[in-house]
A and B are shown apart, each in its own frame.
Chain A
Amino acid sequence: MSEFFGPLDSEGRAPKHQQTRVAAFLISAHGALARQLAFALPPKLESAWQTELNAQVYREAEIVALMMRATSWIPDLALGSMAVSWETAWFPTPIEGIPDRSLAMAAGLATVAHAVHAGIRPAALLPMHANANDPFVMALRRIEFENGRLLQPQILFLKGPELVPFRSIVSSALERRHGEIRKLWGEALEGVGVTISRSD
């Protein structure tokens, strides 16, 4: 077990089975966010903040397309069962205790997005000597970099005035989401010989 991808090949590329597992996880997570955000987006924008929602839909879709094209894929028999547990985890869930159903759903979606953008750091798995010119390496760096920006609307929303009366339950729900998704990420990596040091 290592905290990083490896052993790298002679050209500094991560092993294909590790690339496949990581790419599948990221595609599942960001694909789910793209779908859910697209459903939340009205055909005609009504509020200024929805411009950000529009951008997010395309950023998430871009990440999916990027991983599909930048990964060196190989068959991974464990993916079938793993994908089921991943897709179940992304399923839209309202935060209990918020009486307004649409607000509770939006907050639930924001906790998943926050946990994916903040808690999953794919570039942190790259060893120091990974080949910076390899598309998979560059894709992971790009995704982690974009995640920092994609996170901001979730932070604004979850800390924002609409959810102030529910601050405690929102914080608890977010902590729980982070824990669940970090656990899934840890399990996915563990199967390909990578361990994340801060996984619970």
Chain B
Amino acid sequence: MPFLSQKSYRIRYELDGPANAPAYVLVNGLTQYAELWRAYRDALVARRFRVATFDLLGQGTSDKPTLFINQDDQVAALDLLIRELGKGPIFLSGISFGGLIALRYAIAHGERLSGLVPMSCFAELSPQLQLLGNAMRTGLILGGTGYLQDLLLPMNLSDQSLKPLLDKLDSVKRQGWLINDVYALQNLMESFLDFEPLTPLLPLIHMPTMILNGEFDFLTPRALHETMRVLIPNSSLVIIPKAYHAFTLEKPALTADLLARFAEDVLAGRWQGNKAVWIAPEEAGGELTPFPTGYDHLRAIPAQGISHE
């Protein structure tokens, strides 16, 4: 298990795929760990990408600073990993908290990236998100990691994913509970106490950027992704149908396919962001369709009559 050294801390990482191939770097969400990207490693390596995954400071088997975890230190850890990858094309993607770290990296070290994919992400704390974050922190303090998981599972996964898990929730939660420590999660959450919105800095992100947002994501809803679409010059927004905040867990085949296609298009010179809004297919390999003209993509209404009988 290789580690990088950042100051006195160790960052656990993993590289898969051919060494000279274009690389995808994947950044975990707040309560996640690198192994959750396993399906992405397999899918992207099969598409001839190199894949780098790692545990952020405070997560998994990376070191867990005891008192403070600064988001700048997370960006520095990510930079160390990206330096390990050499000079070839690098695509960076992260989900939720990891998406925010990816945005920070793109702002600070944009010249190193060929493409960026923020997923279920945010550049600012809306009042709803701020209060939800506060409530999750209080839940963690009062009820521990298990209670936080109890909150996040129904918020972030669909009924279709949850239903088969209902009679084995303890085992589903166990690895996350074992690998996360309350104080480390609290430190990660408290890295937002002095958070300054990234919104004014988003125009500095010049690389091709595909923003992915679940149709039913109510933790980081469409409006938070819209800010990125509007302010990142070479971006497009892709809405994942019937998906919630944690669509990377629910729809790994579809999401990995979208990541691969984005990078292939960028490398082939086909990518055009145009701040367009797209709807992803429901299955990997399907066509993306433009969001229908004349409808407001910030609303949830425009789907045409489908019988639910």
What residues make up the interface of A, taking CB atoms closer than 8 Å to B?
114-115, 118-119, 121, 124, 128, 144-145, 147-149, 151-152, 155, 158-159, 167, 170-171, 174-175, 178, 197-198
Contact = CB atoms under 8 A, between A and B. Distances in A.
Residue from the set B8, B66, B171, B178 with the largest chain A CB neighbour count within 10 Å: B66
Contacts of B66: 114-115, 118, 171, 174-175, 178
A170 B67 CA distance: 9
Given A151-B183, A159-B67, A198-B61, 14 more contacts: A114-B183, A118-B66, A118-B181, A128-B170, A144-B144, A147-B182, A148-B144, A148-B182, A155-B183, A155-B186, A159-B68, A170-B67, A178-B66, A197-B61
Nearest to A178: B66
10 contacts: A115-B66, A121-B181, A128-B171, A145-B144, A147-B182, A148-B182, A149-B142, A151-B183, A159-B67, A174-B66
A151 B66 CA distance: 12
Contacts of A152: 141
Contacts of B171: 128
A124 B67 CA distance: 22
Nearest to A175: B66
A106 B187 CA distance: 22
B174 interface: yes
A174 B67 contact: yes
A124 B66 CA distance: 19
Interface in B167-187: 170-171, 174, 178, 181-183, 186
A78 B195 CA distance: 50
Chain A to chain B: the 9 pairs with minimum beta-carbon distance, closest first = A118-B183, A148-B182, A174-B66, A148-B144, A171-B67, A178-B66, A175-B66, A174-B67, A124-B178
Interface in B186-231: 186
A171 B141 contact: no
Nearest to B145: A148
Contacts of A128: 170-171, 174
Interface of B: 8, 61, 65-68, 140-142, 144, 170-171, 174, 178, 181-183, 186
Residue from the set A148, A151, A175 with the largest chain B CB neighbour count within 10 Å: A148
Chief secondary structure at chain B's binding surface: helix
A152 B186 CA distance: 10
Contacts of B174: 128
Nearest to A132: B170
Contacts of A115: 66
Residue from the set B8, B67, B140, B182 with the largest chain A CB neighbour count within 10 Å: B67
A158 B178 contact: no
Contacts of B141: 148-149, 152
A158 B66 CA distance: 10
Given A118-B182, A118-B183, A198-B61, A158 B144 contact: no
A148 B171 CA distance: 21
A152 B190 CA distance: 13
B38 to A, nearest CB: 19
Contacts of A174: 66-67
A175 B8 contact: yes
A82 B209 CA distance: 57
A148 B140 CA distance: 8
Contact of A151 (B61, B170, B182): B182
Contacts of A167: 68
Contact of B67 (A121, A148, A149, A158): A158
A118 B140 CA distance: 13
Nearest to B141: A152
Nearest to A121: B181
Contacts of A178: 66
Residue from the set B65, B140, B171 with the largest chain A CB neighbour count within 10 Å: B65
Nearest to A144: B144
B66 to A, nearest CB: 5
B142 to A, nearest CB: 7
Contacts of B183: 114, 118, 151, 155
A171 B70 CA distance: 13
Contacts of A121: 181
A42 B178 CA distance: 38
Nearest to B142: A149
Nearest to B146: A145
